[in-house]
Amino acid sequence: MRLGVVCGVLAVLLSGAVTPAAAAPAASEPVYDYAKAVRETVWVDIGRDGDGDGRSDRVAADIVRPGELTSGVPVIMDASPYYSCCGRGNESELKTYDSAGKPVKFPLFYDNYFVPRGYAVVQVDLAGTNRSAGCADVGGPSDVGSARKVVDWLNGRATGYSAKTGGSAVTAGWTSGNVGMIGKSYDGTIANGVAATGVAGLKTIVPISAISSWYDYYRSDGATFGFNPAGLAQTVEARNSGQNCSAQNQVLTTGATANGDYGPLWAARDYVTNARNVRASVLLSHGVNDLNVKTLHFGQWWDALNVEKKIWLSQTGHVDPFDYRRADWVDLLHRWFDHYLLGIDNGVQNGPMASVERQPDQWADQSRYPAAGAAATTLRPGASGTLGTAPASGTASFTDNPNVGEDTWVTSPGSAALTYSTGALASDLQVSGTSSITVTATPSTASARVSALLVDLGAATIRNFAGSGEGIKTGTTENCWGSSTTGDDACYRIATADVKKVTYTIISRGWADLANYASLSQERPLTPGTAYTMTFRLASTDHIVPRGHALALIIGGTDASFIRGPAQPGRLTLDLSRTSLSVPVGGVLPPATTHPAALGGGAFVASAGRADLR
């Protein structure tokens, strides 16, 4: 019998009658008619009653999917509170609906580009926003649960309905259950939060300029930025009439204590502590000059992840890569979703882990982030204004002036800040990763703030991240990314780099309340004349300080550009022998034997205040 089978197979082979296996697709193709796409809304029960009306809240999931496919469709999901109040993308697009309430306009290009390629796009109104019931809780269980429950519904584990109240049950039999979440700012933050729950079916996330811990958005090692989550909740709830969110907003106000302590409200919104639960792959993008969602967010999240991941770091502020590197970003997203949601073996997970913008529109790939050659190095400020690896001694003092901030500290610090410098570098020095500083300071009063800056002293041309476009200029011409219909076009205005010549660049910042020297959870009274030691974090970055420039450390009190001052500003005296900087650097540091050169005239980057979280 075995001989007969072998002979039969051999005869078939010799006859040429065997049909070769079909080659695996290299990429999804736009073969589905976008004009025939199914557009619908499903209200998913999230199992919470945030607005206290006695009914379990339902959130609106607006769906657009290929009409030709009835099964096996993967989902790209953007869960947001901004679909009616603030808009999405550089052009602030809002959702629109026809007279029957059917969704017409899906903001951003994801639907136009990916639906013809066989994907569904689902845009979720977080609880309490747009057409969803409930109340926003700014990154808490309601926000994260809104999106997670939609993932559950897509995988048959939650109930969806045809109406906001009443209606009939709706199932998602058309989907494969594979979900990828994407979004910028608040939206990307929710992607982080949902991933940290470990929910099954979430295969990948693409957080863009996203928060990883809400404490670090509103506070910094005990210092406060001067704004609070209740205000953001009221903003996103403003256009959703009919619900009473006063109780939830009071929870936010009470929990976000004015003294900057880390407490239960913040712990419930700290995704980094649950990063071990993340099973989804991560494609992360952030601007290293983002002064809204500061770069510590991507650094601590990235370090805590143990999954397949890649990262893009631009010179911009709070900007989507679609607006500074459009074609490359769309191509990367296409390959990324194809691999993780459709299972196409295109190798996107291989190759360089990081891509970093070194100069405007000039990018360099790195095998990893932080850079492979970067190692944590201890630098110490010297009594003569030096910054180097040698042990230091002596003391130095400054007087806290809450009316001035970082730019004044760099250009003309006077008695308000202390400057320490490596002197001119003989070769390039790469700072790649997250730094921290340990200070031993004696305050003259019972309250004190301490701030630190890392500065590249030297002329450069950079993106104007402090400008109105945060590093981009939006033109009037458009290009198109996918298919269009009446009411939902695929065309977007083209942005170019907004550049500026500077004499220095602040590459990292950090702020702290000295009263939290022993614990972030409980500040302690300071005794004037007593020395306190505190370690606090500086923002994550990847920056090359060129040969001939200097790396400087500036230490001051209240950085008026960002934080609120103490009740009693006073004089702080540093013990230099017990003050040090831990900075991840690649390259050789010179012996610090020279004083920092005085800055010449010229333009410099003005401080950028907080923008709204979009």
pLDDT > 70: percent of the chain: 92
Domain final residue pick, 227, 253, 270: 270
Report DSSP letters for 328-372, one per residue. HHHHHHHHHHHHHHH-----TTSS-SEEEEEETTEEEEESSSS-T
Continuous segment of H or E residues that includes residue 255: helix 246-255
Number of other residues whose CB lies within 10 A of the CB of residue 47: 12
| Residue 105 in this model has a pLDDT that exceeds 50 | yes
Q: Is residue 75 part of a domain?
A: yes
- Greater confidence, 306 or 595? 306
| Residue 348 in this model has a pLDDT that exceeds 70 | yes
pLDDT band at 394 (very low <50, low <70, confident <90, very high): very high
Continuous segment of H or E residues that includes residue 148: helix 141-154
The pLDDT, as a whole number, for residue 517 is 98
Q: Is residue 170 part of a domain?
A: yes
Domain final residue pick, 270, 303, 336: 270
pTM for the predicted model, two decimal places: 0.92
| Residue 528 in this model has a pLDDT that exceeds 70 | yes
The Cα 514–Cα 557 span in angstroms is: 10
- Quick one: how far is CA 343 from the chain centroid? 26
* Number of domains the chain is built from: 2
Whose tokens are 């002596």? That residue is: 394
**What does the CA dihedral 220, 225, 227, 233 come to, rounded to 10 degrees?**
-30
Active site residue 297: no
pLDDT band at 243 (very low <50, low <70, confident <90, very high): confident
Q: Is residue 350 part of a domain?
A: no
The pLDDT, as a whole number, for residue 604 is 30
Taking the CA atoms of 170, 190, 69 and 93 in sequence, report the sign of the dihedral they define.
positive
pLDDT band at 587 (very low <50, low <70, confident <90, very high): confident
Give 197-233 pLDDT, tens digit per residue. 999 999 999 999 999 999 999 999 999 998 999 999 9
pLDDT band at 613 (very low <50, low <70, confident <90, very high): low
Q: Are 136 and 142 within 8 A, CB to CB? A: yes
Q: Are 592 and 382 within 8 A, CB to CB? A: yes
Continuous segment of H or E residues that includes residue 203: strand 202-208
Whole-angstrom Cα Rg for the chain: 27
Q: Give the mean pLDDT of the chain.
A: 92
Active site residue 290: yes
Region 354-372 average pLDDT: 97
Return the amino acid letter for 444: S
Q: Are 128 and 140 within 8 A, CB to CB? A: no
Q: Is residue 179 part of a domain?
A: yes
The pLDDT, as a whole number, for residue 157 is 98
User: Which of 143, 216, 314, 318 is flagged as catalytic?
Assistant: 318
Active site residue 484: no
Q: State residue 473 phi and psi, 5-degree precision.
A: -120, 125
Residue 161: give the domain boundaries.
37-270
Region 309-325 average pLDDT: 98
User: Which of 28, 80, 185, 540 is flagged as catalytic?
Assistant: 185
Q: Is residue 570 part of a domain?
A: yes
Q: What letter does residue 573 receive in the DSSP assignment?
A: E
Q: Are 29 and 115 within 8 A, CB to CB? A: no
Give 115-131 pLDDT, tens digit per residue. 999 999 999 999 999 99
Number of other residues whose CB lies within 10 A of the CB of residue 477: 7
User: Which of 51, 270, 290, 320 is flagged as catalytic?
Assistant: 290
453: domain CATH number is: 2.60.120.260
Q: Is residue 47 part of a domain?
A: yes
Region 97-106 average pLDDT: 97
449 and 574 both lie in a single domain = yes
64 and 189 both lie in a single domain = yes
Give 287-307 pLDDT, tens digit per residue. 999 999 999 999 999 999 999
Q: Is residue 422 part of a domain?
A: yes
| Residue 421 in this model has a pLDDT that exceeds 70 | yes
Number of other residues whose CB lies within 10 A of the CB of residue 568: 14
pLDDT band at 57 (very low <50, low <70, confident <90, very high): very high
